[in-house]
Amino acid sequence: MWPIDRLRRTGGGPSDEAPLILAGRANSRRVVTAACEAAAELGLRIGMPVSKAQALVPDLRVEQADLHADLDALERLALWLMQRVSPMVAVDPPDGVVIDSTGADHLHGGEEPMLEVLLGRLTLSGITARLAVADTWGAAHALARHGPASMCLALPGSLRDVLAPLPLAALRLTPATVGELRDLGFATIGDLMAVPRAPLARRFGPQIIRRLDQALGLTSEPIEPLRPASLVEVRQAFAEPIGAAETIARHISRMVRDLCNRLEARGLGARRLDLICWRVDSHAQFVRVGLAAPQRDPARLNRLLCDKIPTIDPGFGIEIMSLTATLAEPLAPRQTAGLLEPAAPDLSGLVDALANRVGARAVYRLAPVASDVPERSVTRVTALARGDWQEGGWPGHWPRPSRLLPRPEPIETMALLPDHPPNWIAWRGIRHRVRRADGPERIFGEWWKREAETRAVRDYFRIEDETGRRFWIFRAGDGEDAGTGSQRWFMHGIFG
């Protein structure tokens, strides 16, 4: 579980503007609900009376907080995360989002790459965020708000160690309770862990013990996922918990048919399906299936979902199942084939099967880009992408290798300058004697992109060694003028 905390727009006026705070009401008092970085550096904090803040900073700029607008923005962010990260997303007011990413992190390359990508996307959107991953909601909540870095990753089984140095406020206790604990000499969560629980419960009630157990995973804290009214969803509850794979598959088939009927009534097709199974122990298991194109074919959707059944752990039984079209797009009926014109081959089924098995990022196609520089002349697009690039292609006047290396690799050669190919090359510790060669093909740098490429030149050669292997090599420079390149040789591609 990992919440996103302290969301705020980074845009605004120049840095010399007056510090800004947002003011709201706590009972009958007017208090600070948010403060910019400049105000925080001056000692203003959330919960401080506005009158005290204005006394400390005379030129303070005060704006009225709009809690309803903040909650709407938080829900929109949670919906965006639900569509891209995990179906188990809930808002954590006033400034957080909690996500159960169990079973979904591998689709993003792991927990750490998932956090890095998400943090980058939020930053590009103008949102500053603190992210944390932990075994429990409570621990992730504490690390996101009071952790040592803007991105924290707690290893499984390390909750006690990572929570111990955090302040008491990280346990989501009331300010009054935190104040009383500080008066008694408690400063960190580790101080609470080191004392008997019974005296704490008698003096402060069960709230402290419950929050501590939730953070340590000793008490469950289920997430009620966000479900806007616009989503197409089918839900089924069972009188007796189910657990057999055959029973789960049978109910999935029924729910898929109902979902496809609702999608058809709205003229929509599913691009992403989320199956959530609530167990009797309040834990949830979910399966996410993506589709390359909008679909509402029950047979295809049922097959993709049933292939994921082995990943579902029913535990002591599943009591509720829900199937949601998290992402849907318009899908109009169309004729698939005619008597005079045969139907085009439909590859979406193959793409869906591969993408849901190995990940959507691993299934792609290459498209040409208008650039003479080889490593810039190609880009990755989705497997079924369509666009203007389909009308053109790579230049055909010079052959291109079937495999282009991720980056040119230096090689050792012996060649006559400026226009002769090498007599031999040594690449990755293996020496190849050149039997045939063709070239050079001169490629100039793109001076409008980088000033360093104003005079840059590459001379490419196609060579063949004594075993028949063919390589694509180049010399950086024209062989005469040092200003055109280093005159070193590189391996850039391999012909099939």
Q: Mean pLDDT in runs of 10 for the chain (496 residues)?
A: 45 58 87 87 88 90 89 89 86 88 71 86 87 90 88 87 91 87 90 88 89 88 82 92 94 95 93 91 86 90 92 92 92 67 73 81 82 85 69 66 90 87 92 92 88 89 93 92 90 90
Q: Is 156 helix (H, G, I), strand (E, B) or coil?
A: coil
| DSSP element (H, E) containing 161 | helix 159-163
Q: Does domain 69-216 have CATH number 1.10.150.20?
A: yes
The helix/strand count (H/E) of the chain reads as 13, 21
Residue corresponding to tokens 């498209």: 367
Distance CA 178, CA 182 (A): 6
Q: What is the amino acid identity at position 223?
A: I
Distance CA 261, CA 340 (A): 31
Distance CA 81, CA 327 (A): 12
What tokens appear for 331 in the block?
């899908």
Query: What pLDDT does residue 246 have?
Result: 94
> Where in the chain do CATH 1.10.150.20 domains reside?
69-216
Angle at 247 between CA 245 and CA 251, to 5 degrees: 115
Length of the chain: 496
Angle at 469 between CA 466 and CA 474, to 5 degrees: 100
Query: What pLDDT does residue 265 have?
Result: 92
Closest to 407 measured CA to CA, from 373, 430, 432? 373
> Where in the chain do CATH 3.30.1490.100 domains reside?
232-330
Closest to 356 measured CA to CA, from 295, 401, 403? 295
Q: In what order do the strands lie in the sheet with 403-410?
A: 403-410, 489-494, 470-476, 457-465, 430-444, 422-427, 412-415
Terminal C-alpha separation, the chain: 47
Distance CA 207, CA 203 (A): 11
What tokens appear for 12 in the block?
């605004």
What tokens appear for 333 in the block?
């009926």
What tokens appear for 229 in the block?
């009214």
Contact assessment for residue 189 and residue 200, using Cβ atoms and an 8 Å cutoff: no
Q: What residues contact 174, with CB distance under 8 A and at least 6 apart?
A: 207
CATH superfamily of 232-330: DNA polymerase, Y-family, little finger domain (3.30.1490.100)
Other beta carbons within 10 Å of 249: 13
Distance CA 147, CA 395 (A): 53
Closest to 376 measured CA to CA, from 367, 386, 364, 387? 367
- For 243, phi then psi, to 5°, come to -150, -20
What tokens appear for 203 in the block?
């003096």
Closest to 166 measured CA to CA, from 114, 219, 211, 115? 211
Q: What residues contact 188, with CB distance under 8 A and at least 6 apart?
A: 164, 165, 166, 167, 168
Distance CA 408, CA 413 (A): 15
Kindly list the distances between the CA atom of residue 143 and the CA atoms of 45, 73, 201, 348, in Å, as whole numbers in the listed order.
19, 23, 25, 42
Distance CA 47, CA 33 (A): 6
